[in-house]
């Protein structure tokens, strides 16, 4: 080091030069001090250190290498001067290069020449370099890396002074680098924390939305947005409590769409879904503020009417039916839907929500059976009612004992005015209650799994009676009704064959009537059985035609011979122009497909004449005859009120 005394003896020029030099060194150290204390980012510190160091020792190139955390490699994270770009960002294994040596030894390299390294240890730039000075950078907490000067500006070697200056510089600068590193770690951690916080906020938001969706979904039907069963039950309980408190009545309406399943099957679920949305809207439009409309599932809706009585219910039901009659547009189709509604009243029919719901359900099925718009719960009809259970037992006995009876209703050929056939209609004559009509007991038969023996029994009796008529010379065919369940029974065709041969009746005398909705219930499966029956030579007739949604293309695939136009169209034929049009086009459609037509429910002369004009083939109804017992039918045939086709007429 220079001692104060030395200054006196030096020549002024050299002294001046040394002072200037000192000045520069001090300014460098000041800058380093600032770097140490300042909050600079790592890259800025590196760059400024490299530039300053280059000035300090007048090196061609200065590079700073940082040791990797695992101490297996080092990376040049700053470089200034010649070849700087090449050096910058290069990562080398710690075994390689002078720098590697310095980092391994944690000792400075100075005055050494590159020739002293073994050839494998040199990388390209080192081989090109002449003189190198390399000092370790040691922080307070750990060893950081090294700072290298490569080649002296203007040639020559780095000297003792360069070494001392760079040592001083390196020791100071290490602190700055370490500070910046800590700062950067802090920043990274901070950024990471920020990012986490942001992510957390996003997640929180999402969670909140999902929560409210879930909450909404838990009480709302996702398709229609209406209250679901849970919410409906809640509102129902609330309305019941209120009615109890204020000594009022309240009502629950349960509503089920007619033929929804057929629409869904024929036109697809998306049409079905949109129809349900439309129905929800239509129904909602006629309700008052305190009423609650909800969807129970499928095509079932429920309406809670607080503070109401039987009369206002009738008004509400009318309004609901009218709203549904308004066409609902879905895609290119427009639907007017029918619905069956069941009404249960509080406190008359039930004291708690679930029993009231059951009552409304029972009433709804009764409305469906009777084809009425709605039914108010009737305890006598209830399956769970003790009376009902007794009736079920009686029904089972009647079927087992083959005690079912049959009424026969004639079918008249409109052109020849002759009776050409009869329809067998089941009757249950109850020992105490008398005659029970089919719409009251057939659904029960279906629900209790008795439909197979029941149908076979009716077939057997109908075929036997038909054979009797044929043997008496009457050429009458007999029609027997099948239920949807029968169309899923693969044994049916064979059993029918057995019955025919047992009674020795030609198969052409038997017609089977199947409703449109029964076929459309499971079209593909039904088709197999229908085809089998057709192959046997039994005639098939589509009953209640016009009330379902069988598509025309489907109709063409069915092996049927006859369409029976539903009596709801026939009855209003004279007054209702729409119905007249439906009947006319059904007749035309049937004829185009090569089918004959039967009009049901013909009650007046006027209707019969109109049907004849329209080209209808056959008529059936009270005008011609009510359904008659076997004996009464034989007397009727003998009376000659309408002529009957007889074998002797030669009319077949």
463 sits near ligand C2E (criterion: CB under 6 A):
no
Q: What does 409 interact with, of Ca ion, ligand C2E, none (CB < 5 to 8 A by kind)?
A: ligand C2E
- Location of structure tokens 């056959």: 618
Structure tokens of 590? 């049937």
Nearer of residues 25 and 603 to ligand C2E, judged by Cβ? 603
Which segment (158-166, 210-218, 346-354, 432-440) binds ligand C2E by CB under 6 A?
432-440
Smallest gap from Cβ 467 to ligand C2E, in A, equals: 18
In the complex, the smallest distance separating the C-beta of residue 241 from ligand C2E, rounded to whole angstroms, is 42
The region of 54-62, 105-113, 334-342, 437-445 touching ligand C2E under the rule CB under 6 A is: 437-445
Mark 601-630 with x for binding to ligand C2E (rule: CB under 6 A) and - for no binding.
xxx-----------------xx----x---
Figure out which of the listed residues 543, 570, 630, 637 binds Ca ion, where binding follows CB under 5 A: 543
Q: What is the DSSP letter of 207?
A: H
Q: Is 196 among the residues that bind ligand C2E (CB under 6 A)?
A: no
* CB nearer ligand C2E, residue 76 or residue 441: 441
Which residues make Cβ contacts (< 8 Å) with residue 104, sequence separation at least 6?
94, 95
* Residue 601 partner contact from ligand C2E, Ca ion, none using kind-dependent CB cut-offs of 5 to 8 Å: ligand C2E
Q: Interface with ligand C2E by CB under 6 A: which range of 123-131, 214-222, 476-484, 500-508?
A: 476-484
Q: Of 114-122, 178-186, 261-269, 475-483, which segment contacts ligand C2E by CB under 6 A?
A: 475-483
Q: How far apart, in Å, are the Cα atoms of 415 and each of 303, 352, 393, 511, 619?
A: 51, 60, 47, 20, 10
Which pair of structure tokens corresponds to residue 30?
Answer: 């000041």
Q: Characterize 544-558 residue by residue with b for buried, 16 or more Cβ atoms within 10 angstroms of its Cβ, and e for exposed.
A: bbbbbbbeeebbeeb
By CB under 6 A, tell whether 443 contacts ligand C2E: no
157 counts as binding ligand C2E under rule CB under 6 A: no
Residue with the shortest CB distance to ligand C2E: 621
Among Ca ion, ligand C2E, none, residue 457 binds (CB under 5-8 Å by kind): none
Q: Residue 91: beta bridge partners?
A: 75
**Binding at 458: pick from ligand C2E, Ca ion, none (beta carbon under 5-8 Å per type):** ligand C2E
Read off the DSSP letter of residue 10: S
What's phi and psi for 290, nearest 5 deg? -75, -10
The nearest distance, CB 652 to Ca ion, in angstroms, is 23
By CB under 6 A, residue 512 contacts ligand C2E: no
Angstrom CA distances, 145 to 52, 106, 115, 142, 601, stand at: 18, 9, 23, 9, 105
Of all helices (H) and strands (E), which one includes residue 643? Answer: strand 643-644
CB of 440 or CB of 498, closer to ligand C2E:
440
Contact 80, 54 (CB under 8 A): yes
Asked whether position 438 contacts ligand C2E by CB under 6 A, the answer is yes
Residue 567, interface with ligand C2E (CB under 6 A)?
A: yes
Size of residue set near Ca ion by CB under 5 A = 5
Q: At 132, list the tokens.
A: 């190198």
Of the residues 544, 587, 610, 614, which one makes contact with Ca ion according to CB under 5 A: 544
Q: Shortest distance, CB of residue 600 to ligand C2E, whole angstroms? A: 6
**Can you spell out the DSSP letters for 291-319?**
-EEEEEETTEEEEEE-S--HHHHHHHHHH
Chain position carrying tokens 């693969």: 490
User: 581 to each of 244, 544, 552, 575, how far by Cα in Å?
Assistant: 51, 16, 17, 11
Any idea which residue has 């108010």 for tokens?
376
Segment interacting with Ca ion (CB under 5 A) among 30-38, 269-277, 407-415, 512-520: 512-520
Q: Does 409 bind ligand C2E (CB under 6 A)?
A: yes
Query: DSSP string spanning 327-386?
Result: -EEETTEEE---EEEEEEEETTT-SSHHHHHHHHHHHHHHHHHHT-SEEE--GGG-TTSH
Please work out the total of residues on this chain that contact ligand C2E, with binding judged by CB under 6 A: 22
Cβ proximity to ligand C2E, 221 vs 477, nearer residue:
477
Residue 271 touching ligand C2E (CB under 6 A): no
Q: Does 539 bind Ca ion (CB under 5 A)?
A: no
What is the DSSP secondary structure assignment for residue 122, as one 8-state letter? -
For position 425 contacting ligand C2E by CB under 6 A, the verdict is: yes
User: Cα-flanking dihedrals φ and ψ of residue 212, to 5°?
Assistant: -70, -35
Interatomic CA distance for residues 403 and 405, integer angstroms: 6
* CB-nearer residue toward ligand C2E: 227 or 627: 627
Q: DSSP readout, 76-101?
A: EEEEEETTHHHHTT-EEETTSHHHHH
Identify which range of 48-56, 332-340, 348-356, 594-602 contacts ligand C2E by CB under 6 A: 594-602
Q: Which one of residues 57, 426, 463, 583 is an interface residue with ligand C2E (CB under 6 A)?
A: 426
Residues that bind Ca ion in the complex, under the rule CB under 5 A: 481, 513, 543-544, 600
Residues that bind ligand C2E in the complex, under the rule CB under 6 A: 409, 425-426, 437-439, 442, 458, 481-483, 513, 543-544, 567, 600-603, 621-622, 627
């Amino acid at each position: 080091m220079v001692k104060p005394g030395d200054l006196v003896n030096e020549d002024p020029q050299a002294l001046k030069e040394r002072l200037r030099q000192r000045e520069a060194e001090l300014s460098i150290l000041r800058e380093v001090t600032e770097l140490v204390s300042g909050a600079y980012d790592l890259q800025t510190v590196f760059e400024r250190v490299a530039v300053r160091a280059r000035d300090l020792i007048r090196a061609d190139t200065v590079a700073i290498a940082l040791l990797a955390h695992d101490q297996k490699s080092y990376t040049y994270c700053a470089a200034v001067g010649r070849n700087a770009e090449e050096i910058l960002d290069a990562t080398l294994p710690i075994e390689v290069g002078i720098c590697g040596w310095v980092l391994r030894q944690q000792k400075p390299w100075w005055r050494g020449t590159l020739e002293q390294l073994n050839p494998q240890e040199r990388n390209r730039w080192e081989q090109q370099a002449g003189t190198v000075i390399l000092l370790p950078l040691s922080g307070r907490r750990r060893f950081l890396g090294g700072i290298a000067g490569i080649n002296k500006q203007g040639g020559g070697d780095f000297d003792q002074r360069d070494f001392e200056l760079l040592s001083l510089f390196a020791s100071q600068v290490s602190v700055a680098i370490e500070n910046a590193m800590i700062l950067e770690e802090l920043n990274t951690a901070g950024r990471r924390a920020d990012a986490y916080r942001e992510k957390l906020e996003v997640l929180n938001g999402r969670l909140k939305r999902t929560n409210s969706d879930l909450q909404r979904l838990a009480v709302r039907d996702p398709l229609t947005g209406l209250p679901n069963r849970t919410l409906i039950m809640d509102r129902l309980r609330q309305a019941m409590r209120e009615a109890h408190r204020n000594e009022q009545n309240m009502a629950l309406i349960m509503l089920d769409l007619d033929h929804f399943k057929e629409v869904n099957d024929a036109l697809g679920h998306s049409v079905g879904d949109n129809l349900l949305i439309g129905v929800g809207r239509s129904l909602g439009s006629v309700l008052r503020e305190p009423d609650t409309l909800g969807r129970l599932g499928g095509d079932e809706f429920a309406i809670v009417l607080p503070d109401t009585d039987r009369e206002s219910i009738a008004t509400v039901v009318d309004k609901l039916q009218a709203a549904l009659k308004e066409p609902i547009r879905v895609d290119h189709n427009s639907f007017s839907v029918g619905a069956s509604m069941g009404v249960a009243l509080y406190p008359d029919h039930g004291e708690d929500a679930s029993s009231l719901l059951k009552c409304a359900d029972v009433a709804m099925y009764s409305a469906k059976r009777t084809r009425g718009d709605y039914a108010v719960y009737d305890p006598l009809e209830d399956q769970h009612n003790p009376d009902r259970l007794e009736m079920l037992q009686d029904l089972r006995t009647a079927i087992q004992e083959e005690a079912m009876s049959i009424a026969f209703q004639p079918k008249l050929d409109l052109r020849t005015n002759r009776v050409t056939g009869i329809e067998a209609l089941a009757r249950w004559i109850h020992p105490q209650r008398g005659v029970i009509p089919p719409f009251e007991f057939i659904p029960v038969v279906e629900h209790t799994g008795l439909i197979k023996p029941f149908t076979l029994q009716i077939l057997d009796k109908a075929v036997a009676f038909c054979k009797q008529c044929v043997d008496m010379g009457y050429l009458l065919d007999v029609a027997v009704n099948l239920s949807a369940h029968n169309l899923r029974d693969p044994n049916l065709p064979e059993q029918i064959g057995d019955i025919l041969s047992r009674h020795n009746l030609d198969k052409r005398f038997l017609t089977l009537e199947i409703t449109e909705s029964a076929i459309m219930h499971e079209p593909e499966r039904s088709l197999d059985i229908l085809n089998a029956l057709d192959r046997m030579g039994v005639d098939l007739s589509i009953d209640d035609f016009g009330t379902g949604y069988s598509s025309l293309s489907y109709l063409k695939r069915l092996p049927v011979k006859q369409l029976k136009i539903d009596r709801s169209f026939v009855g209003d034929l004279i007054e209702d122009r729409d119905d007249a049009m439906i009947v006319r086009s059904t007749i035309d459609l049937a004829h185009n497909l090569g089918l004959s037509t039967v009009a049901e429910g013909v009650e007046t002369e006027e209707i019969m004449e109109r049907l004849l004009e329209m080209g209808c083939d056959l008529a059936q109804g009270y005008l011609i005859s009510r359904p008659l017992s076997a004996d009464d039918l034989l007397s009727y045939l003998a009376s000659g009120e309408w002529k009957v086709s007889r074998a002797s007429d030669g009319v077949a």
